[in-house]
Amino acid sequence: MDVELGVLGHLDPEIRTRQLTRTTMVGVARRDHPLFDGRIDARRFAATDHIGISRLGKRLGPIDSALAELGLRRRTAVVVPSHTSAMLLARDTDLVALCLADWLPETVSALGLRAFPLPLDLPPLDLGMAWHPRNANDPGHRWFRDRLAAAVLDPSDTPRGSTTRH
């Protein structure tokens, strides 16, 4: 399916979009990570090695800007293309990753990870979906977008085999 889901950036003007939700980020690290041995403040958070998440391979982002305002820098040890790959890497290392707040907490726990609030003043993230207009009226694509939106808006309320809610 040709749908982009996430924080939507610079899109071509003809691309169709739908705002889904507003959320914040949290940090995740393996359950027994040394970071959990004390209060997680901005200085301790910055001192921990991080996993960057960027499809374009960017090492700097809003986290780095917020840390810079406090006179701090973090070390991004590796950049991966997805939150899933970041969580899998964090599970087996001393690296810290980012994840959407309250997003699949059972998965975070099942991976042996623990979430923590970021000790930074960051604006919330707007999550949406985008698709090419050639798919706008396709019934199958429209059904898929509706199911995807329902899963994002309330992951616990998406029964298997259900029809689209209006």
Its sign, for the CA torsion 9, 23, 95, 35, is positive
pTM: 0.78
Residue-level pLDDT at 32: 95
Residue-level pLDDT at 161: 40
Per-residue pLDDT tens listing for the chain (166 residues): 588 888 888 888 899 999 998 889 999 999 999 999 999 999 999 999 999 998 777 888 899 999 999 999 999 999 999 888 999 999 999 999 998 887 777 888 999 999 999 999 999 988 899 999 999 999 999 999 999 999 887 655 544 443 333 3
Q: Report the C-alpha gap between 144 and 79 in whole angstroms.
A: 30
Residue-level pLDDT at 155: 56
Q: Report the C-alpha gap between 147 and 162 in whole angstroms.
A: 9
Q: Find the angle CA(111)-CA(117)-CA(120) to the nearest 5 degrees.
A: 135
